[in-house]
Structure 1
Amino acid sequence: MHASCHNVTNIPRTESKEWSLEVPPSQSHHNKGRPKNKPGDSEKTKDHLDLKIESKSIQDKLFCTVQQVDSAMLLEEVKSLVRDGYTALMDQRCRSAEQAFSQLLSILNPPELKQLNLRIINYVVIIYGHATALLGIGQPEALTKAEDQFNKIIEQYQEERFDCLAYYGIGKVYLRQNRFSDALDQFMKSQTMVSRKIVPGVLTWPTTSQVIEETRKENLQLILKNCIEECKFPPEPDAVCRYQQCHGHSKIQIFFTDPDFKGFIRITCCQQCRVEFHISCWKKLKTTNYSDKNDKDFLQELCFTPDCTGLISKIVIFNSSGLVKCEFEQKITKPKEPPRANIKQKCSSFRKLEMKQEKKNTKKMCTEGCTECC
């Protein structure tokens, strides 16, 4: 044991100022590896902690200042974009309006609206502005996105009582697509909500004093009345697709003003029957029933109208621009019907016979009178 203790005490000491190997044998195992604080270390630690706290406080203040600056800058950007968006809408510059509202939706986060002194209803108004701009663009893809945005308002923001305007918006989308019966259904929903006073009240574009006119109850009522009237008495379609499996289109009625108008084919027979198809439906019909027969080869074929015995005499194909792409015609002479025989029928009515006899007597008396005068 002495040898081992002697060996321990004779181990060369390190020059470390914080560690010492000279410990009593009884404590060598327990204190091995523990630092030994020197006088003044606690003060240094305290100063270090104070410095950290002070640094953290400065950082927090700087962060708050930066955050305030960022919020102020963001609010100014929001104001600018809102102004750009609604003025573009009023000027019917729908693409510019769509860009402004789209940018607003990308930089705004609903949970953080309070930092900008905005509310959820302001965010809903921006969605509505974006959808309205897409509606104004009027292309098929834009109309689909507009409908999605209006539906988003209905599904996610019911508490804001904005549904009447969202249904009105969807109705406008369908009206733009010439889907009059579908549009009527949406307008009627909106009208019902307005009549029951389920409305958001008069609203302005966020951060401005510019009133959104359709949020005025009386204005929306008048707009809905006119839209409903238009849907109840729609214009005559330019064509009606007669393909029985016409499922690839939103409707069988075809208008030159359809956003997705791609043309149609019109087939006329010598009996003046007129049959029309979407271009895609016509291609399907030919592939299914006629082995991709050429259009021109349908001339002088039997009319597509059931119970008509006429022959096809004219085929006109309209392209997506509404212009005649090609036209085929074959004059077909109608068989002459035998002339009807003229049969003189004797008067069978007793009164007519009497009148006829009276005329004869009168004529005879006049003749005799004239003879005597001579």
Structure 2
Amino acid sequence: MQFNHEDDHYHQKHDTTIRYATDGIPRLSVTNLPRTENEVCSLDFPPSQSHQYKGRSKNKPGEPEKKQDHLDLKIESKTIQDKLFCTVHQVDSTMLLEVVKSLIHDGYTALMDQRCHSAEQMFSQLLNIIDPSELKQLNLRIINYVVIIYGHATSLLGIGLPEALTKAEDQFKRIIVHYQEERFDCLAYYGIGKVYLRQNRFSDALNQFMKSQTMINRKIVPGVLTWPMTSQVIEETRTENLQLFLKNCIEECKFPPEPDGVCRYQHCHGHSKIQIFFTDPDFKGFIRMTCCQQCRVEFHTNCWKKLKTTNYSDKNDKDFLQELCFTPDCTGLISKIVIFSSSGLVKCEFEQKITKPKEPPRAIIKQKCSR
């Protein structure tokens, strides 16, 4: 049997071309989905290609037909790529819509169950995959996107850690700055107030709550809203509910609890406030000194370290016993030092009994009774 070497060479070229065309087909996923509007996917050949098939010129005498077949194969491969691209694009668009629906459902469900870490992850993913300039492709409006931002901020608020609270405040402020037309500011101010309340910044929180209350009184509200793509109502968007929430928060801010300590460091600027609460999200402990006259003086741990470094050459804490009280005009001596750790427990305690000097007895004057 004889082998035709030209045919063998011809098949090799075909194999090479087929592998190249197949390797060029893009693999799309939800995260890198190309976003196009009004894209029509047709399974028909483009007019230019149809024309090529109709008007195919005959080969010149003596020219092998394999070159023309090679060109035809390239055209067919390109057409297959276009068909597959359109099909995958349609499938991924549907998948993206389903992913968004699922994340919204899981996000607000976790938020209602107070699983704030899970809720934050869901809303964070939504903000990453949704382009606010292309909401129409997902049948969403701007107000729906604002609700997702609000859900993310509320989740961060529920986490309650210092960094999370800072991010929550930024998200609420983002709503106020960029989406005023959606009339959502009353809820954003309410959210910022909740952040400050969580930080035990009662006067700052009261200011935000009053702004929210003013907007409600002036009917600047978004109306009753649901979580996007669901029928689940967001309870805070009911005006009567928000007014009740505000009433309770305002009352708490007007009559706050007594602080567990008050930092007396003159340059206490490293903290949001001088009042110290064990419930502060950024609580890192404090030191309390009591003198024999029952004066109590507290310092943030960091403030106390700065004070010692600046004025007392890093003197040991215990050595402050029997020193003059830090309270101005007090002549008492420090008799007790208690250091609280970041856990709120007593880390160490020093005490020195100081006997008060006895005051000289008053002179007794006997008066004669006059008759």
Q: TM-score, normalised by structure 1?
A: 0.77
Q: Aligned residue for 1:44?
A: 56
2:125 maps to what in 1?
103
Distance 1:228 1:346, change over 3 A: farther
Among 102, 107, 116, the alignment partner of 1:94 is: 116
Segments of 5+ residues of structure 2 without an aligned counterpart are 1-51, 58-67
Matches within 5 A, 1:178-193: 178-193=200-215
Provide the rounded CA distance (Å) in 2 between the counterparts of 1:207 and 1:134: 22
1:97 and 1:42, CA in 2 relative to 1: closer, same or farther beyond 3 A?
closer
Q: What is residue 313 of structure 2 aligned with on the other side?
A: 291
Superposition pairs for residues 81-160 of structure 1, below 5 Å?
81-160=103-182
Provide closer, same or farther for how the CA distance between residues 52 and 252 of structure 1 changes in structure 2, counting only shifts above 3 A: same
Per-residue CA deviations over 1:217-260 (Å, capped at 9, x if unaligned) read 11101111111111111100000000000011000000000000
Instruction: Tell me the SS of whatever aligns to 1:44.
Output: coil
Q: CA deviation at 1:66?
A: 3.3
Percent identity (aligned): 87
| Cα deviations by residue, 1:135-169 (Å, 9 ceiling, x for unpaired) | 00000010011111111111111111111111110
Gapped regions of structure 1 (runs ≥ 5): 1-39, 354-374
The residue number in structure 1 matching 2:96 is 74
Q: CA RMSD in A?
A: 2.8
* Deviation at residue 306 of structure 1 after TM alignment: 0.7
d(CA) in 2 for partners of 1:94, 1:197? 31
Residue 326 of structure 2 is aligned to residue 314 of structure 1: no
Distance 1:41 1:298, change over 3 A: closer
In the alignment, what sits opposite 1:323? 345
Partner of 1:229: 251
Change (3 A) 1:270 1:71: same
Look up the equivalent residue of 1:71 and give its one-letter code.
S
Quickly say closer, same or farther: Cα 1:336–1:200, change in 2 above 3 A. same
Structure with bigger gyration radius? 1
Pairing 1:209-288 to 2, within 5 Å after superposition: 209-288=231-310
Q: 2:357 maps to which residue?
A: 335
Rounded to whole Å, the distance in 1 between the matches of 2:261 and 2:367 is 48
Rounded Cα–Cα distance in structure 2 between residues aligned with 1:319 and 1:239: 14
Residues in 1 aligned to 2:253 and 2:205: alpha-carbon distance in whole angstroms: 7
- CA shift for structure 1 position 113: 1.3
Alignment: residue pair count: 309
Amino acid in structure 2 at the alignment position of 1:203 = L
Which letter maps to 2:327?
T
- Once the two structures are superposed, what CA deviation does each residue of 1:304-342 show, in whole Å capped at 9, x if it has no partner? 111111111111000000000001111000011123345
TM-score normalised over the length of structure 2: 0.77
